[in-house]
Chains A and B, each alone.
Chain A
Amino acid sequence: MIPMIRLTDIRKTYRLRRGMFAPTEELVAVNDLSLEVAKGKTLGLVGESGCGKSTAVSIMLGLLKPDRGEIEIAGQKIGTMPVADRVRLIQPVFQNPNASLNPVKRIQTLVGQPLQLYGGTNVDAEVKRMLDLVGLPARLADAYPGELSGGQRQRVAIARALILGPRVLICDEPTSALDVSVQAQIINLLLSLKKELGLTMVFVSHNLAVVEHLADHVAVMYLGQKIEEAATDALFADACHPYTRVLLAATLLPDPQAGLPEQKLGAAAADPFAAHRGCLFAPRCPAMRQSCVEDPQELRTLRESLVRCERAV
């Protein structure tokens, strides 16, 4: 069966200066990233800031061109596809609905806009159907984003993403800007939409608890590389990569018995410019050996995980 979304060996680099007068240097934002998501499944994409999550999202949406590699959605390459076709396949929901919704446009216009732009008919009726689908009362069609709560605005963003009937929904930190009580409402909505519409989802987040709740499988990224991928159960029960373990341990649970996790990470921060052949996590890794820095680390199968670490057992 063809996966609904497939990324093959995606690489994206930026040329940046570290200081005003410094020479430009190459920063590898995403390196050899391959991912597959089957129809109706949810992939969780996790990692800390600067790990390449957002670059990967922009590439999937066709907003950024990768230096090399291929993106296929429903078996069609999106690199050469007209925008009008692409937007009917894949749509985003972003982190901050305050920033992604134009404050001077009415909800009716905001939700209907994609349909208007890409030649849809019956816009008013469709907007009504979408508002109903995401659990917003029809009377809000005439409101402005400023009159809505954060949760309602995120519902508007979801309605707008769904009005073209996409097969894939990319959610980039959709609940990070929301309060806990509202976050639960949006998670419930995404879960029911997934079931109702058979949506395939990529859920990007740094909140592992939310990812665990929503995703069928999880890919962990570190400085542009996928360092581990596994089914959600396997990853949370038995993570193989030292970085995944650190990440899981650092996630604070609402349980006073758990206390603060002991951190075995070195003081070094992740340096996206650091170029060496071996493991990118090695400078911070509690299990580091000399060979980690020298030998290129390939993805390999270990138990139920795909892991990029020669020392993982």
Chain B
Amino acid sequence: MTEMMLDIRNLKVSIPTDRGLLNAVRGVDLQIAKGETLCLVGESGCGKSLTATSIMGLLPRYAKVTSDRFEMVGQDLTTKTDAKLAKLRGRDVAMIFQDPTSALNPTLTIGRQLTEGVMRHEKLSRSEAEARAIEMLDRVGIANPAARLTQYPHGFSGGQRQRIMIASALMGRPKLLIADEPTTALDVTIQSQILTLLGELQADLGLSLLLITHDLGVVAAIANDVAVMYAGRIAERAPVAGLFAAPRHPYTKGLLAAIPVPGVTPRGSELPAIPGRVPGLIGALRGCAFRDRCAIAGAECAHDPVPRISAAQGQFIECVKAGEVTA
């Protein structure tokens, strides 16, 4: 049995709004094994970022979060307390965000921002913490790290700032790293450098990585396993090769077909777009959330609950018509 770094069952996040309760995450199951990279992919508003933020316990108090099981790096957090989570954050679990420019404080030196967490959590002295900061900056490819500790974020390029964010996340020697769109704000040449770095770190340090993205190119490049999210639920989970070679959920199929691929999609041809739009998530939603946009939907798709068809190693797909999809 592989060791699970993250095991969440039936995670639900609801947010009260003027128009009623917004059920943004509607029962998500996520398991990540030690050393595994899971990509959580989906379109805006599908709940992928909320899932990540709720794992970190960073949601505002008015958000209602429930789950049947919540285990992280070997600790049961089902009845989690803020104090318990705060201990994990910045040590065993760390998170990096999309925009390094807004995640770094422009008025503090890099050294101060990197060392703050470990000095508090691990009670390291300033010099010990600085030594580790230098080690981590070096690890993420910042040249001459000792001299750069005294510099402010504006002295670094966008790609370097994201490297600093990663170094900062590594300071507590985490076992699980959550990255929310870590390369979306970066240029493509920088993007592949950062993804390469994440891959190396993962292999060297045995990190488990939960990477959230909307970019299927990123998924293909870095994931072991993929979870495709739609309207607050995971529609399909599969190993990366299988998902791209033979997607089974109609939504996954639609997504993959909608991307033009140079050299494959005939130039100027009409792309098979998914018609319609994502359903509103305020109030109750019955049956399959994708059925209004699905080409093969039938009357049975309106029934609750949508059956889950499981296969080996945690793979599954939630679709009552799954048999017909593969045909």
Contact = CB atoms under 8 A, between A and B. Distances in A.
Contacts of B270: 188, 191-192
Given A250-B188, A265-B193, A269-B157, A184 B258 contact: yes
Interface string A138-179: 000000000001111000000000000000000000000001
Interface in A7-36: none
Interface string A256-279: 111111010101010000000000
Interface in B211-246: 214-223, 240-241, 244
Contacts of A206: 187-188
Given A151-B277, A250-B189, A263-B189, A255 B244 contact: yes
- Among B160, B217, B241, the most chain A Cβ lie within 10 Å of the Cβ of B217
A117 to B, nearest CB: 31
Given A49-B187, A180-B214, A206-B187, A254 B265 contact: no
Interface string B12-24: 0000000000000
Contacts of B274: 181, 184
B271 A251 contact: no
A19 B204 CA distance: 39
Contact of A256 (B196, B215, B244, B268): B244
B61 interface: no
A260 B271 contact: no
A209 B262 contact: yes
Contacts of B157: 269
Interface string B180-224: 000000011111110110010000000000000011111111110
Given A209-B259, A260-B221, A267 B192 contact: no
Contacts of B191: 250, 252
A257 B241 CA distance: 8
Contacts of A250: 188-189, 191-192
A232 interface: yes
A203 to B, nearest CB: 12
- Among B223, B262, B269, B274, the most chain A Cβ lie within 10 Å of the Cβ of B262
Nearest to B216: A254
A254 B267 contact: no
Contacts of A192: 270
B271 A188 contact: yes
A74 interface: no
A213 interface: yes
A253 B220 contact: yes
B220 A252 contact: yes
Contact of A149 (B255, B273, B277): B277
Interface residues of A, number: 44
Contact of B220 (A181, A214, A258): A258
Contacts, number: 132
A255 B199 CA distance: 17
Interface in A111-133: none
A256 B239 CA distance: 10
A5 B163 CA distance: 42
A185 interface: yes
A297 interface: no
A308 B255 CA distance: 38
A257 B160 CA distance: 28
B256 to A, nearest CB: 6
Contact of B141 (A246, A265, A267): A267
Interface in A178-226: 179-185, 187-188, 191-192, 206, 208-210, 212-214
Contacts of B273: 181-182, 184-185, 188
Nearest to B163: A267
B292 interface: no
Given A252-B215, A255-B244, A263-B196, A180 B260 contact: no
A125 B104 CA distance: 52
B196 A260 contact: yes
A182 B214 CA distance: 13
Contacts of A152: 277
B272 interface: yes
Contacts of A213: 260, 262, 265, 267-269, 271
Given A184-B271, A213-B260, A252 B143 contact: no
Interface string A209-249: 11011100000000000000000100010000000001100
A247 B6 CA distance: 36
B188 A179 contact: no
Contacts of A246: 189
A310 interface: no
A258 B220 CA distance: 8
A48 interface: yes
Contacts of B268: 191, 213-214
A143 B142 CA distance: 51
Given A152-B277, A258-B221, A263-B192, 4 more contacts: A247-B189, A252-B221, A263-B196, A269-B159
18 contacts: A48-B188, A151-B277, A180-B214, A181-B255, A209-B261, A213-B265, A246-B189, A247-B188, A252-B220, A252-B221, A254-B259, A255-B261, A256-B221, A260-B196, A260-B199, A261-B192, A265-B193, A267-B141
Q: What 9 pairs across the A-B complex have the smallest Cβ distances? A: A252-B217, A184-B273, A179-B43, A269-B157, A181-B274, A213-B260, A184-B258, A48-B187, A184-B271
